[in-house]
């Protein structure tokens, strides 16, 4: 058996190919806050990963429309178990809004780890905001241990390499206090990369163009003889937007473009196919053309989708804009004009179908992931909720299988339970696994899962209860909603609750579990005859794990002893994910 991680776009419509088009998002699934850089003919994007580990996923492309996940910036537990704490980080904490840059043979990622104390009366050493840099010679890794930049407050940092050899750290702060950890204004300061220290004076350089309260996500570029500062505003929801200002000096003053925002969906109907577009980065091609990447949320269900915030691509042109009028004599005023970017110049918004950046390089996409667990290392697609406990899984215990060890922990806030998954990339999909599971102790449980957060998940599992085995469906809805699905009845003659369950009197230890998303519903199936036939256990709405906040849903596998010490495990022969693109 051979693992296949397929990242090619296989659109069913040949017409789309023949017309030289691509579709957004270019990186589907929960990959928000994109930052992009180019090295020769190669492009690299890094995204936020929040509480997940490995963190800082890195995709590679040579054509801007076909992207392959090549690694993660945080890929060793040691990188995320100290000052950068992804061990017991809270939901929606962790890694926020990275920037990736390349300079003189080295790749740099700068980002923020956000952490809240579990007990403020007994705090640990983790700071609330830790801005740090990691480096690599190869973007696929290995990446360095974090270099924490002391005194760098705020979030969403940027690194700017000026053509005079100086390097600048750019961050956010509360308006009026350059040393605060808030948002709403942007600061910049020179950075000594040899010693990883800020040097010189700090400068507050801009508070944004419109709302001036949620200014964040800064990036600085030097083009047309000026410094350009790009920021996000409006908060990461329906009012999200991208703004830009320009200056002759890196420390300002920055003059806003009068056509701001340069990208937004705030003026569009909430029924538009995508919304919340913002938090962007720009890249210049070898031929002088420019493109922008930004996040956006597909409107698949009531303004949301299970994929959360995804990465989209738009063309950019530069046009002259009047920024102000200056008096040149007692009777004469003349306009002062700068070149400013115009995003998606034909329509001014993120489009689903677009002209290819390179006419001879088509987009190919088949949202499929198969893993037969024959490789020596886990594919970079697999992520855990936080740094996993030691001995959570093994690819060596049984050849051709992934062994997932049961842990006492279950889906709970800030816990490290035995769950691992991949990003859901389309609303309609199938997720299936073949599992070998022979529980020895009462209540031991393993199976497959779809999860959005610690307290928002669906588990389709096999559980030993007394001397019997059951296949069961457990539902935990978002925001602790209590419904008929979550307030489940007890399995007959037991104290165990489940939304739906069925006894398996002839269970031999081998089972196929499948979740299918279709026409607004999740359908749950199992097979005990090797896939010759499947029995439907239940169905639910597919809105259970809608991406309401920062992350998208994952599909994965899960195992727990439900509070007991155990040496139990579940062996997974293979997993198969298949998404279905909707135009």
Residues catalogued as catalytic: 33, 216
Total Cβ atoms within 10 A of residue 16? 17
Strands 468-476 and 42-46, by their bridges, are unpaired
DSSP SS3 for 304: strand
CA 563 centroid distance within chain: 31
DSSP SS3 for 114: strand
User: In angstroms, rounded to a whole number, what is the distance separating the alpha carbons of residues 508 and 423?
Assistant: 31
User: In angstroms, rounded to a whole number, what is the distance separating the alpha carbons of residues 43 and 285?
Assistant: 9
For tokens 């490995």, what's the residue?
A: 54
The token duo for 66 is 């076909």
Whether 106 contacts 136, CB under 8 Å: yes
Q: What Cα–Cα distance (Å) separates residue 151 from each residue in 126, 132, 160, 232, 364?
A: 14, 11, 18, 23, 45
Name which of 131, 129, 133, 130 is nearest 161 in CA terms. 133
For tokens 């419509």, what's the residue?
A: 13
**Which helix H or strand E contains 14, and what residues bound it?**
helix 14-18
Question: Residues, the chain, total?
Answer: 583
CA 302 centroid distance within chain: 21
DSSP SS3 for 106: strand
């Amino acid at each position: 058996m051979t693992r296949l991680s397929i990242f090619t776009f296989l659109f069913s419509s040949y017409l789309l190919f023949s017309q030289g088009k691509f579709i957004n998002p270019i990186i589907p699934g929960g990959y928000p806050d994109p930052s992009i850089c180019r090295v020769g003919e190669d492009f690299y994007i890094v995204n936020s990963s929040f509480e997940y580990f490995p963190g800082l996923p890195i995709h590679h492309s040579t054509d801007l429309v076909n992207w392959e996940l090549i690694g993660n910036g945080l890929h060793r537990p040691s990188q995320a178990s100290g000052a950068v704490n992804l061990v017991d980080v809270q939901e929606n904490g962790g890694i926020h809004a990275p920037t990736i840059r390349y300079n003189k043979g080295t790749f740099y990622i700068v980002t923020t780890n956000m952490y809240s104390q579990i007990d403020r009366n007994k705090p640990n050493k983790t700071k609330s905001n830790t801005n740090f840099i990691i480096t690599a010679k190869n973007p696929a890794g290995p990446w360095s241990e974090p270099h924490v930049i002391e005194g760098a407050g705020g979030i969403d940092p940027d690194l700017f390499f000026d053509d005079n050899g100086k390097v600048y750290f750019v961050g956010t702060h509360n308006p009026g206090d350059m040393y605060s950890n808030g948002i709403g204004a942007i600061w910049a300061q020179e950075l000594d990369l040899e010693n990883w220290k800020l040097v010189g004076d700090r400068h507050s350089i801009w508070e944004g163009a419109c709302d001036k309260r949620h200014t964040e996500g800064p990036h600085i570029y030097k083009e047309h003889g000026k410094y350009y500062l790009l920021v996000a505003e409006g908060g990461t929801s329906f009012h999200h937007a991208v703004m830009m200002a320009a200056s002759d000096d890196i420390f300002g003053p920055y003059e806003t473009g009068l056509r701001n925002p340069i990208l937004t969906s705030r003026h569009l109907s909430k029924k538009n196919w995508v919304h919340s577009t913002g938090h962007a980065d720009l890249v210049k091609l070898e031929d002088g053309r420019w493109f922008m990447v930004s996040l956006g949320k597909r409107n698949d269900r009531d303004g949301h989708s299970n994929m959360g915030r995804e990465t989209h691509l738009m063309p950019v042109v530069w046009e002259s804009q009047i920024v102000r009028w200056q008096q040149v004599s007692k009777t004469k005023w003349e306009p002062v004009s700068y070149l400013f970017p115009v995003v998606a110049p034909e329509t001014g918004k993120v489009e689903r179908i677009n002209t290819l950046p390179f006419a001879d390089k088509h987009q190919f996409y088949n949202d499929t992931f198969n893993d037969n667990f024959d490789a020596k290392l886990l594919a970079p697609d697999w992520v855990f909720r936080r740094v996993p406990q030691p001995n959570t899984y093994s690819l060596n215990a049984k050849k051709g299988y992934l062994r997932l060890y049961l842990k006492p922990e279950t889906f709970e806030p800030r816990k490290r339970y035995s769950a691992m998954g991949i990003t859901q990339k389309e609303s309609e999909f199938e997720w299936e696994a073949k599992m070998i599971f022979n529980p020895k102790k009462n209540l031991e449980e393993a199976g497959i899962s779809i999860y959005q957060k610690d307290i928002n998940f669906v588990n389709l599992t096999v559980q030993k209860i007394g001397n019997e085995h059951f296949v069961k469906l457990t539902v935990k809805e978002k925001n602790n909603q209590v419904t008929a699905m979550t307030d489940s009845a007890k399995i007959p003659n037991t104290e165990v609750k489940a939304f739906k369950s069925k006894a398996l009197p002839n269970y031999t230890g081998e089972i196929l579990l499948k979740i299918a998303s279709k026409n607004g519903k999740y359908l749950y199936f199992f097979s005990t005859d090797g896939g010759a036939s499947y029995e439907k256990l239940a169905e639910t709405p597919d809105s259970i794990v809608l991406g309401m906040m920062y992350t998208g849903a994952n599909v994965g596998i899960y195992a727990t002893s439900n509070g007991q010490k155990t040496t139990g495990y579940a062996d997974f022969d293979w997993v198969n994910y298949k998404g279905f693109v909707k135009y």
